[in-house]
Structure 1
């Protein structure tokens, strides 16, 4: 992949997207974009997984993608404490294909001083799934930030009205869909390639999520227990897996000529191909028979200690505010772990004063062990943990 964007005063996503019509996805130059999109006062910081891999830890350690960091000069102090509140692991599985997972994390201060952050995981599949996931990773932050619907309050990158943010995320995903269908045009290896996408945006006490596929986001809250060391974690799933056997998903697929069997969507014409998802980006061959790229978009409150009954008791006993965290991961985590397994794992680490980075490592390690215990060929494992 080469740089598709040169230094300029204006960013034109639609112009760059035209280059994808030829079937050659290209990456954006975020080293330049970060300074075009943000002022120094925003203290912006962006993490992207790169194609470069390194092996970490002791044998039998798996290769992991190196995480690139792009930031403004004013964000230097943010990097020093980043591991306390953020963990990101993108680990290769045992398949012969490249690691097809990708992820990004972006944070900045808006004009009112509120911290805004975005977290996203993509899980590619098919012959060129690694390119498809990387394409979404590169373009989605830009499409969200430059969505005209967000420009409703002077000076603010993200407006205070939650409905406006909800609508903007939906619109950005629609544009991402168009771009991905171009990238998934002929030849056949592109038509058979796609990616999931689970996305979160936190702003002013609200958490907006959008999901296409079976990657997943869950919100965990450490609740007061009988003692300081007692683990009690509230688990709130924020997304649902899009699977062909779901009643509503199956009805849409069969109405468009797709065949659902063995938990997959099959085309009704040669070459017969199957996909174990009912929604995805790309995958133009099965999108013709009902697979969708329309996301589920939701908005949730980020509850402080004073906003729940149990938490109120904690406040009165001087226990302080509750600690919340978001776990976003590809299905390499969810294949053998439940949402509550994940939040319990992360919660236990945070309860023992571990960092978000250490919690993400532990979640990835537990997922890896579950694959080994099942005797299955390990999938790529990607997880992001954000302490809120």
Structure 2
């Protein structure tokens, strides 16, 4: 089964055309005939024209972090609305690449900080280059290879220490290529999308919450079976009675027990009905359902009494306030864990 899990299309058509990655006409052949030099130039010119004419969604990231009752902050995050400068070259059909991520460390903060510092640089090195015919497939391979490499690099560094580091981290990464969102995640940090949908028989739009990630814990049947086949056990909902997640970066001592660093991948094409993406560690979702968190953010965004901060637009002030208030409310509701919240506003 393809690791990609496409989210449903919006119920209301926006009428806006979308660029699709070119596909091979002859899927049965082992090697596709290469176009002649002139055909390549014409094709590249067409892509360049589309890049110029195509309107891309504007993306802005906001974050809030709370230590809670923990002794240290073990979460890490990255906000890069435009990482084009990190890429040596872009495929002809790509105009913009953005990256947002949250990492929830356990056993220490070293794995989460390592992933926050290195994962997007590894991704940039592995990102597709030049003229490509199946961008989705190449981005999928790039993400899988990036997570594997980041895990291997951290484990190599961790094992060289004395004593060896035993840190691990979840990872939820949102990669936006033009208007396509790719989400790669390990563990129990989550990403959700707020999409406005037209209500039937009512001339109003309602907020719909779409899951962009999949949780990995050893109580899930497929995860538990993999762990048991590898010789591990699940006790009290944890690997060997200790580790609460079944996939992670790091956790070298549990890799022999079936804990893996292969992420689940999902993709979703953004459209003008989309309002924002919410990324957060499990500290938020221990006290909020995804729907409650999205509705909480929407209520702040629609608060007409909120004062605008100097130097900020009204939208920026509202998103920053929504981010901070959501993190504060998680603590107020009794979450003792670290809480990190990222909001990515979407504008067309």
TM-score of the superposition, structure 2-length normalised?
0.71
Q: Secondary structure at the match of 2:110?
A: helix
Residue 114 to residue 347, structure 1, CA distance change in 2 (3 Å): farther
TM-score of the superposition, structure 1-length normalised?
0.64
Q: CA deviation at 1:161?
A: 2.1
1:89 corresponds in structure 2 to 64
Q: Secondary structure at the match of 1:210?
A: strand
Q: Residues 1-388 of structure 1: matches in 2 within 5 Å?
A: 85-96=60-71, 98-108=72-82, 114-126=95-107, 129-147=108-126, 149-153=127-131, 161-185=135-159, 190-224=164-198, 232-266=206-240, 274-304=242-272, 322-352=273-303, 355-371=318-334, 378-388=336-346
Bigger relative contact order (CA 8 A; separation at least 6): 2
Q: CA deviation at 1:240?
A: 1.2
2:14 corresponds in structure 1 to none
Q: Secondary structure at the match of 1:384?
A: strand
- Contact kept in structure 2, 1:87 and 1:359, CA below 8 Å: no
- Contact kept in structure 2, 1:100 and 1:125, CA below 8 Å: yes
Q: CA deviation at 1:383?
A: 0.8
CA distance in 2, matches of 1:173, 1:222: 32
How well do the aligned residues superpose, as a CA RMSD in angstroms?
A: 2.6
- Contact kept in structure 1, 2:327 and 2:339, CA below 8 Å: yes
Residue 190 to residue 215, structure 1, CA distance change in 2 (3 Å): farther
- Cα deviations across residues 226-279 of structure 1 (Å, max 9, x unaligned)? 999x8831100111110101000000101111110111001xxxxxx6101111
Residue 259 to residue 107, structure 1, CA distance change in 2 (3 Å): same
- Cα deviations across residues 333-363 of structure 1 (Å, max 9, x unaligned)? 1112111111111222223365322221122
In structure 1, the gaps of 5 or more residues are 1-81, 267-272, 305-321
In structure 2, the gaps of 5 or more residues are 1-57, 85-89, 304-314
Q: Secondary structure at the match of 2:82?
A: strand
Residue 191 to residue 222, structure 1, CA distance change in 2 (3 Å): same
- Contact kept in structure 2, 1:160 and 1:204, CA below 8 Å: no
- Cα deviations across residues 157-196 of structure 1 (Å, max 9, x unaligned)? xx98222222211111111121122133266864532111
- Contact kept in structure 1, 2:283 and 2:339, CA below 8 Å: yes
Residue 204 to residue 113, structure 1, CA distance change in 2 (3 Å): closer
Q: How many residues align?
A: 269
Residue 231 to residue 344, structure 1, CA distance change in 2 (3 Å): farther
Residue 223 to residue 250, structure 1, CA distance change in 2 (3 Å): same
